[in-house]
Amino acid sequence: MEKKVKQHTKAVHAGDRKKDGRHIPVTTPIHTAASFFYESMEKLDRVFGREEPGFSYARYDNPTNGALEELCASLESGHGALACSSGMAAIHVALLTALTDRRKSVVAAHALYGATVNLLMNVLEPLGVAVRFVDICDLAATEAAIREAKPGCVVMETISNPLLRVGQIDRVAELAKAAGAALLVDNTFATPLLARPMELGANLVVHSLTKFLAGHGDVLGGVVVSDATHYDTLRTLSRTFGPVMGPFESYLAMRGIKTFAVRVERQCANACRVASWLRDQPEVGRVHFPADPAHPDAATIRRLLPEGLYGGIVSFELANAGKQEVFRFMNALRLVVPATSLGDVHTMMLYPAMSSHRDLSPKHRERMGISDGLVRLSVGIEAVEDIIHDLAQALENSGVAGASA
């Protein structure tokens, strides 16, 4: 029996060390050429027509991008992948891929990244795509929504942003398949270390490479991983409107991915410690974290996520706090970086009402459960004692402690 290679090993080796002439580079080189040619026009013709493997024009494919795509497809157990210029570009092309030759209707989890909600409501709906939101963690409600809407695509996140809900991907996949719909899963928060949605029945998986996979805050990018059924459509669409990643960014992302598994393990361990500490603080009204036995999706989490690996994100609500109190608290941070991203090696904090979900109306945020006192903490790889010390001093020095006492 062939030994199944672990994620840590795939992250280090997949996609690299292709023969280049008479030598084999240790890491994938950065190929900056905009176009490629061959010894004969006949061969170039076959490559252009996708009758023979090869590279012809950088909007179509690129050796550096191809190595990254091979790596991501390997990590997600997919047929192939497309490296994109951003996570939102990846979600956009994945949605278009799913809806090609299908009913222009989407059933989406109501707990999604704000920009994804905007894409669905403010870009696709005006173009004639019907969009219906549902509590994806409620299987009965999801089944009813799929039956009534007859969607071409169902959209969810493995671990939702920012309240960290965990839906039953395998069960939703069965419902989508029975309805003839494609299942699209954003796996950014979980990473392939915690979950591989394609192994659970998803057709398309997207990541913001900027986050945990690249992991160092120095590259913007996204990726779509596809099953065999959707791969040709995905590549054809990308050839037409060109959402592709640049080779420098692909190189940086690939370099970052080599250490993602060990980074995420450390971030998961640190996040568990931080979440446990936060629960004991009187200034904190509520902590959202998948390891909590009282989590609303605890049974699903036990079934789908590896024991001890619950992600590197902790969201929590400051008691009786609004925008001003949250700003005072975040301004008092000294180690934790108050920046608009997540998944970096350093710990970061974000205020969803101001950033990730800013463009949603206050009522929409309220329906999603995003309060004005909610902050999202992306836990880094620092010594966890230093992270906790910074949070403690910020609670004390911001006056939040006195206001909530």
The C-alpha torsion from 59 through 62 and 65 to 70, rounded to 10°, is 120
Q: What 8-state DSSP symbol labels residue 350?
A: E
Out of 113, 251, 310, 351, the active site residue is 113
Alpha-carbon distance of 192 to 115, in angstroms, equals 22
Out of 211, 235, 263, 376, the active site residue is 211
User: Is 297 part of the annotated catalytic residue set?
Assistant: no
Alpha-carbon distance of 385 to 347, in angstroms, equals 12
Distances (CA, A) of 102 to 93, 109, 327: 15, 19, 45
User: Is 372 part of the annotated catalytic residue set?
Assistant: no
Adjacent-strand bridge partners of 318: 284
For the sheet containing 348-350, what is the strand order?
A: 284-288, 313-318, 374-378, 348-350
Sequence-distant (≥ 6) Cβ neighbours of residue 329 within 8 angstroms: 318, 321, 375, 394, 395, 398, 400
Q: Is 103 exposed, middle or buried (0-12, 13-18, 19+ CB in 10 A)?
A: middle
Alpha-carbon distance of 225 to 119, in angstroms, equals 20
**3-state DSSP assignment of residue 385:** helix
Out of 61, 186, 227, 297, the active site residue is 186
User: Is 211 part of the annotated catalytic residue set?
Assistant: yes
Out of 43, 46, 59, 255, the active site residue is 59
Catalytic residues: 59, 113, 186, 211
